[in-house]
Structure 1
């Protein structure tokens, strides 16, 4: 990625999608911009790249859940639309963590927070979230932390 802010990258991608007349991509990017703008207006502040990543991560989770529900209901056409939107959003997310890197990060965080067991899971998760936002599914992270804390 470049030194440009995530919002700047989104804006440039919208312009590019408009020039290329890519309606699916344009719609998805505008939806992301709208969600970001709504938070900026509601909270009356400019969002940092970390905040924008949180918004995009939430959008990805919504798309994942919706695609699964559409597939369950036999509406593959709508599931495919959700997955196409996920591909566009994922372009702006940081690279995923490997399982080995994730395990090492969890071990380091557990030792640095002096976590002793399941009662400390919240503290460990709060420490990990900012480091892994957009790089790993939070459900998967929670499962891995639970496994390591259980011993």
Structure 2
């Protein structure tokens, strides 16, 4: 069984014993998403740690987008709840790259690939996504690539 999935289950048990409602609800939601991913498709399978991380990233992105939508609709209480759930999920995700680090990686890839303009964006994006390995959102990466190629 995946180590990350085990850690999520153990932390859920700890949160339940501590009567931490937010952490309990968030971890239950993530474990449900992991289970749904495991049984989707033709046959069920056990997810690897990388696949569980992918599910965590998706769920964290949903929380960020929901928080932005609630904040835009002046529903501050729901926005705060979504942000708090996102913070719980962030504990299980790798640290995000800073803007300077991301810019350095993109500059390195642009130099290595010999990219000269926006027509090379796809080639640069593919290489950068492999280099950042989930430590930066696709939107941030795309914006930085556009800035350096444009």
TM-score (norm 1): 0.86
Task: State the alpha-carbon separation in 1 of the partners of residues 27 and 48 from structure 2.
Answer: 18
Q: After TM superposition, which residue ranges in structure 1, 4 or more long, deviate above 6 angstroms?
A: none
Partner of 2:94: 94
| Superposed displacement of residue 86, structure 1 | 0.5
RMSD across aligned positions (CA): 1.8
Superposed counterparts of 1:32-71, under 5 Å: 32-43=30-41, 44-71=44-71
CA offsets per residue over residues 80-109 of structure 1, 9 Å max, x none? Answer: 110110010000011121222211211222
**Number of aligned residue pairs:** 147
Residues 133 and 83 of structure 1: is their aligned pair in 2 closer, same or farther, counting only changes over 3 Å? farther
TM-score (norm 2): 0.87
Which segment is superposed worse, 125-134 or 137-146?
125-134
Partner of 1:72: 72
Taking CA–CA contacts closer than 8 Å with sequence separation of 6 or more, which of the two structures ends up with the larger relative contact order? 1
Residues 108 and 13 of structure 1: is their aligned pair in 2 closer, same or farther, counting only changes over 3 Å? same
SS in 1 for 2:123: helix
| Superposed displacement of residue 79, structure 1 | 0.5
Where do 5+ consecutive residues of structure 1 fail to align? none
Which segment is superposed worse, 79-88 or 38-47?
38-47
Conservation of the 8 A alpha-carbon contact between 1:6 and 1:49: yes
